[in-house]
Amino acid sequence: MRLALVGLPGSGKSTVGRQLARRLSLPFTDSDHAIERLIGCSIREFFEREGETAFRDIEQSTIADLVQRDACVLATGGGAVLRAANREALRDACKVVYLHSTPEEVFRRLRHDSARPLLQVKDPLERLRALHAERDPLYRETAHFVIETGRPSVPTLVNMIIMQLELAGIAPPRP
């Protein structure tokens, strides 16, 4: 089974993905971490030095590679769905789960996170609202399942995803 998680930056893809992989006894991969290993620097540095197009090219080839690997749980970067090739590769090769968070929920979780370039703007909440408006239709187009993140704990979100996979006959029912 190959699962991919999509959603806004800060929606919980990496955190939920790690625990989901553990519960399903699958390896976990974070596409952003794979890209950073490949380029030898942070995505932020690469983005500033080479620009978004160069980054999206590397992201596209990395996702194309990752979705062809064995069973795993893959957390994608928040902007991975911006390219049609990524949406198609993810949807065709994986069962895609959209961790839907409102901009307000993401802001509440990340408002003190100074490491995220996304939030280092004059009005981070407005930035999140704009990203949500642009990307929500793309996440929905890509996803097989939509999970509302709201305020549940990470273990609760993992249980919600597993339950959806069981109901769809993708994961065997737990004893």
User: For the domain with range 2-167, which CATH number is right: 1.20.200.10, 1.10.390.10, 3.40.50.300, 3.40.50.2000?
Assistant: 3.40.50.300
Label residue 114 by pLDDT band (50, 70, 90). Answer: low
Buried b (16+ CB within 10 A) or exposed e, 87-124: bebbbebbbbbbbbbbbebbbebbeeeeeeebbeeeeb
Residue 149 in marked binding region: no
Of 107-111, 129-133, 171-175, the least confident: 171-175
Alpha helix locations (H) across 10-101? Answer: 13-24, 31-39, 43-50, 52-66, 84-93
141 near 90, Cβ under 8 Å?
Answer: no
Label residue 48 by pLDDT band (50, 70, 90). Answer: confident
Tens digit of each residue's pLDDT (9 = 90 or more) over 49-71? 998 899 999 999 999 999 998 89
Residue 87 in marked binding region: no
Is residue 115 over pLDDT 70?
no
Pull the structure tokens for residue 95: 């069962």
Pull the structure tokens for residue 4: 């991919």
Residue 12 in marked binding region: yes
Is residue 95 over pLDDT 70?
yes
Residue 79 in marked binding region: no
Q: How many CA atoms lie within 13 A of 52 on its CB side?
A: 4
Stretch 98-112: mean pLDDT: 90
Residue 135 in marked binding region: yes
Is residue 112 over pLDDT 70?
yes
Question: For residues 16 and 21, what is the distance between their CA atoms, to the nearest angstrom?
Answer: 8
Residue 150 in marked binding region: no
Tens digit of each residue's pLDDT (9 = 90 or more) over 1-25? 999 999 999 899 999 999 999 999 9
- Other beta carbons less than 10 A from residue 17's beta carbon: 26
What does the DSSP 8-state code read for residue 6?
E
To the nearest whole number, what is the mean pLDDT of the chain?
93
Is residue 94 over pLDDT 80?
yes
Matching residue, tokens 């596409």:
31
Type of residue numbered 78 = G
Residue 14 in marked binding region: yes
Residue 15 in marked binding region: yes
Name the burial class of residue 146, with classes exposed (0-12), middle (13-18) and buried (19+) by CB atoms within 10 angstroms of its CB.
middle
Residue 78 in marked binding region: yes
